Structure 1
Amino acid sequence: MRELLEAVADGSLSPTEAEAELRGYVTGDAGRFDAARQQRRGIPEGIFAAGKSAPQVVALAETALETTGRALITRADDEQIETLESTLLESFPDATLERWSSTVLVRTADHEQSTLDATVGIVTAGTVDGPVADEAAAVCRDAGATIDRVDDIGVAALDRMLDQLERLRETDVLIVAAGREGALPTVVAGLVDTPVIGVPVSSGYGHAGDGEAALSGMLQSCTVLSVVNVDAGFVAGAQATLIARALDDARN
């Protein structure tokens, strides 16, 4: 405790960093940020941007960067991303910002990037499933896993998937995102010995076109796979990261 107080007094530690050390989380006007989640759970807290104002997203991202050296923002719209690029990088000029669809990953220059001896395959049935897959990939990439991305191999033309089968079999864990009837994860899981995480996507139209049909199809799969909620790319990425980390530990 005394060392923390002395560090705050001499300016080597900010009050925000000290609060994170003492409580594990930091409370601000935009909410509470769980700075200790990486150490406690192995997965950092993601900042869910949907429903928040651009200043709130920036405030939480600033707290994340100050306490953990990285900020992972999901479901951000163009206005929020533009504000992050202009405001956040002004406060942290040495930081780098990467964007994939609605997912943003920001890291400070002194953030220690992890590396995992494991490959996560990210697969989409169609182009429309891309943003959800991007979210999953960002989580795995932040953890240091190698990403092998295979897009647009849905079952409407099964040869597209069969052409990539050997590549899929070489991965350590697979995340397969599919909308409409959600058949692709079931088909893939029947052909590989790799753990498969199915992500139903709210793409399609008509009856149960909001992801319910895809979710039901994956839950009823006769092949063995795990299933996350509709559009839950972050959760799929987190689960794949935990598997990849366990493999990395075993290999090293």
Structure 2
Amino acid sequence: MRELLEAVAAGELSPAEAESRLRGYATTGAGRFDAGREKRRGVPEAILAAGKSPSEVSALTRTALETAGHALVTRVSEADVAAVAEEVDGEVTVDHDERGRTLVAQRPNYEPPTLDADVAIVTGGTADAAAANEADAVLEVMGVDAERVEDVGVAHLGRVLDQVERLRAADVLIVAAGREGALPTVVAGLVDTPVIGVPVSSGYGHGGDGTAALAGMLQSCTVMSVVNVDAGFVAGAQAGLVARAVSNARGQSE
């Protein structure tokens, strides 16, 4: 503890970083940031921007950068992105995905992990891209460069069948689909790898808010897992945990 106090006094360590090392989290005016979650759980702490003010989002992003070296922010608005840009210094890299509504920031000395695993994100159509992009951002932070297999909706089964070899090559699949949500079920029946279904709120009329896709996936005849409507973050984190286990197993077998 004395070393931490001396480092803070010398300006070598911020109070937030010292607190995170002692308690596992850092306290800010916008709430607590769980800096130890990534090491404890294997999933990075994400800052959910929805429901927070831009100033609260930027303050938590700064704390994440100070304590973890990087920040993942989901469901951001343009105002949130602007506030973060004003808050961080010029050496911090900021990657904003407008469609996925994610923001990933990294300090120059941060070294992201790299996992030896193949993850593919599959979409039925362009309308599924927002949830898919959110999942992709989580996987990137966890050390996975995911492959995208897009526009293979079941309206024409040939679009899925001509991608079967790519699907079977993956260690884990995230499959996002709206409307009736049939695509993950079809894919799960064609591969021997874990499939994570993401129901998307695309459609119209009865069940068009994603509830029809969710119900269809929950009733899947083929074995798969399902996350909540538009929950790209949860799907990405789950796939990342599978990828980490695969990567660790491959490392041990070498």
1:94 aligns with 2:99: no
Q: Distance in 1 between matches of 2:36 and 2:25?
A: 7
User: CA offset at residue 243 of structure 1?
Assistant: 0.4
- TM-score when normalising by structure 1: 0.96
Bigger shift: 117-126 or 76-85?
76-85
Q: Distance in 1 between matches of 2:28 and 2:40?
A: 21
Which whole-Å deviations, capped at 9, do the CAs of 1:191-210 have from their partners, x for residues lacking one?
01111000011111100111
Residues 44 and 142, structure 2, Cα contact 8 Å, conserved in 1: no
Which whole-Å deviations, capped at 9, do the CAs of 1:49-87 have from their partners, x for residues lacking one?
1111111111110000010011101111122123323x1
Which whole-Å deviations, capped at 9, do the CAs of 1:190-229 have from their partners, x for residues lacking one?
0011110000111111001111111110010000100011
Q: Distance in 2 between matches of 1:118 and 1:99?
A: 25
Structure 2 equivalent of residue 107 of structure 1: 106
Residues 54-93 of structure 1 mapped to structure 2, 5 A cutoff: 54-85=54-85, 87-88=86-87, 91-93=88-90
Residues 92 and 108, structure 1, Cα contact 8 Å, conserved in 2: no
User: CA offset at residue 92 of structure 1?
Assistant: 2.5
Segments ≥4 residues shifted beyond 2 Å: 82-85
Cα–Cα, structure 1 residues 82 and 158, in superposed 2: closer, same or farther, change >3 Å? farther
Task: Give 3-state SS (helix, strand or coil) of 1:194's partner.
Answer: coil
Give structure 2 stretches of 5+ with no counterpart: none
Q: Which amino acid aligns with 2:14?
A: S
Residues 72 and 106, structure 1, Cα contact 8 Å, conserved in 2: yes
Structure 1 equivalent of residue 133 of structure 2: 134
Structure 2 equivalent of residue 233 of structure 1: 232
Residues 216-227 of structure 1 mapped to structure 2, 5 A cutoff: 216-227=215-226
User: CA offset at residue 94 of structure 1?
Assistant: 1.1
Q: Distance in 1 between matches of 2:214 and 2:106?
A: 34
Task: Give 3-state SS (helix, strand or coil) of 1:146's partner.
Answer: coil
Q: Distance in 2 between matches of 1:7 and 1:26?
A: 17
Structure 2 equivalent of residue 209 of structure 1: 208
Q: Please give the root-mean-square deviation of Cα atoms over the aligned residues, in Å.
A: 1.0
Q: Which amino acid aligns with 1:96?
A: T
Q: Distance in 2 between matches of 1:146 and 1:55?
A: 31
Residues 65 and 107, structure 1, Cα contact 8 Å, conserved in 2: yes
Q: Alignment length, in residue pairs?
A: 249
Question: Identity over the aligned pairs, expressed in percent?
Answer: 63
Task: Give 3-state SS (helix, strand or coil) of 2:223's partner.
Answer: coil
Structure 2 equivalent of residue 199 of structure 1: 198
Q: Which amino acid aligns with 1:57?
A: V
1:27 aligns with 2:27: yes
- TM-score when normalising by structure 2: 0.96
Q: Which amino acid aligns with 1:21?
A: R
Q: Distance in 2 between matches of 1:60 and 1:10?
A: 24
Q: Distance in 1 between matches of 2:212 and 2:117?
A: 32
Which whole-Å deviations, capped at 9, do the CAs of 1:108-154 have from their partners, x for residues lacking one?
11111100000110011111110111111111111111310111111
Task: Give 3-state SS (helix, strand or coil) of 2:27's partner.
Answer: strand
Bigger shift: 220-229 or 139-148?
139-148
Residues 167 and 173, structure 2, Cα contact 8 Å, conserved in 1: yes
Q: Distance in 2 between matches of 1:38 and 1:95?
A: 20
Q: Distance in 1 between matches of 2:216 and 2:93?
A: 40
Q: Distance in 1 between matches of 2:76 and 2:65?
A: 17
Q: Which amino acid aligns with 1:172?
A: D
Q: Which amino acid aligns with 1:16?
A: A
Residues 156-195 of structure 1 mapped to structure 2, 5 A cutoff: 156-195=155-194
Bigger shift: 91-100 or 226-235?
91-100
Give structure 1 stretches of 5+ with no counterpart: none
Residues 93 and 105, structure 2, Cα contact 8 Å, conserved in 1: yes
